[in-house]
Structure 1
Amino acid sequence: MTAYDAYLTARLLAASGRTDTDAVTTADMDAAADMAGADRPGSGHGRQTVRLALDAITQPRSL
């Protein structure tokens, strides 16, 4: 899984309201990756990359 695949997957998860990285399941990630046309996160490392991307998209930034 590339960083771009993780970003596309995370973006789709966020758009569908799945923003809690602790609650997102492997099945959620697989479905989002399929819908985004990205590779599925096939390992723990890939799933962690999706979680990091999801956090980056959904966490407020401080200045």
Structure 2
Amino acid sequence: MTALDAYETARVLADHGLDSDAVTHADINKAADRAGAQRPAGSDDRHTVRLALDAIGDVR
């Protein structure tokens, strides 16, 4: 998963009102699909999505 994939996935999650504490693996996979991004390959990728989601939330 690239940084852009993580950001685009996090953006979809944020648009649906989810935060990094509430998001599930299934949520991340669905968001990646909606964003047209690569799905996370493992826990490191999901962590990167959560970090991006936190960053987006801090900007809002």
TM-score, normalised to structure 1, is 0.89
User: Which secondary structure state, in structure 2, belongs to the residue aligned with residue 59 of structure 1?
Assistant: helix
Q: Does 1:21 align with 2:20?
A: yes
Gaps in structure 2 of 5+ consecutive residues: none
Moved more, 5-14 or 51-60: 51-60
Aligned to 1:4: 4
When residues 60 and 24 of structure 1 are mapped into structure 2, their CA distance, relative to the original with a 3 A threshold, is same
Matches within 5 A, 1:1-63: 1-18=1-18, 20-60=19-59
Tell me, in whole angstroms, the C-alpha distance in 2 between the residues paired with 1:32 and 1:38.
8
User: Which secondary structure state, in structure 1, belongs to the residue aligned with residue 6 of structure 2?
Assistant: helix
The number of residue pairs the alignment matches comes to 60
Q: Identity, % of aligned pairs?
A: 63
TM-score, normalised to structure 2, is 0.93
Tell me, in whole angstroms, the C-alpha distance in 2 between the residues paired with 1:57 and 1:17.
11
Which one has the largest radius of gyration? Answer: 1
Q: 4+ runs of 1 displaced by more than 6 Å?
A: none
Larger helix percent: 2
CA RMSD, aligned part only?
Answer: 1.3
